[in-house]
């Protein structure tokens, strides 16, 4: 067991660490601060994004949660359309239920 630890220390002294729990927490903190408080949709962020986009359509802002972003990246396509947003909303509900 000690040999495995030493090998890991030596290996990651020269290579980037591929994954850690701290990295996951950093992504959640950066992308969706209310991750544990909502069920897939942050209604306050969505309202704020809609108000911002109405005021300044040149700099579009989104209000998607981490779950919505994951659904888009795994199951759907990039781009902005009401069809994709509708599909994203339905799949997000399913993901959150599971």
Per-residue pLDDT of the chain (98 residues; tens, 9 = 90+): 889 999 988 998 999 888 888 888 888 888 888 888 888 999 998 899 889 988 877 788 888 898 999 999 999 998 888 999 999 999 999 999 99
- For residue 1, tell me if it sits in a domain: no
Q: Are 44 and 65 in contact (CB under 8 A)?
A: no
- For residue 40, tell me if it sits in a domain: yes
| Model pTM above 0.85 | no
Buried b (16+ CB within 10 A) or exposed e, 40-73: bbbeebeeebeeeeeeeeeeeeebbbbbbebbbe
Q: Give the range of the structural domain holding residue 32, as residue numbers without chain letter.
A: 20-97
- For residue 7, tell me if it sits in a domain: no
Q: In the prediction, which pLDDT does 76 show?
A: 94
The total domain count for the chain is 1
User: 26-31: which pairs have CB atoms within 8 A and are 24 or more residues apart?
Assistant: 27/66, 28/66, 31/66, 31/69
Q: How many residues does the chain have?
A: 98
Q: In the prediction, which pLDDT does 18 show?
A: 85
């Amino acid at each position: 067991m000690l040999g495995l630890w030493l090998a890991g220390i030596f290996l990651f002294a020269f290579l980037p660490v591929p994954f850690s729990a701290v990295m996951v927490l950093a992504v959640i903190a950066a992308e969706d601060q209310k991750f544990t408080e909502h069920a897939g949709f942050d209604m306050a962020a969505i309202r704020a994004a809609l108000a911002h986009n109405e005021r300044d359509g040149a700099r579009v802002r989104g209000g998607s949660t981490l779950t919505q972003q994951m659904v888009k990246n795994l199951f759907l396509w990039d781009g902005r359309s009401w069809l994709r947003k509708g599909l994203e909303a339905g799949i997000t509900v399913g993901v959150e239920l599971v």
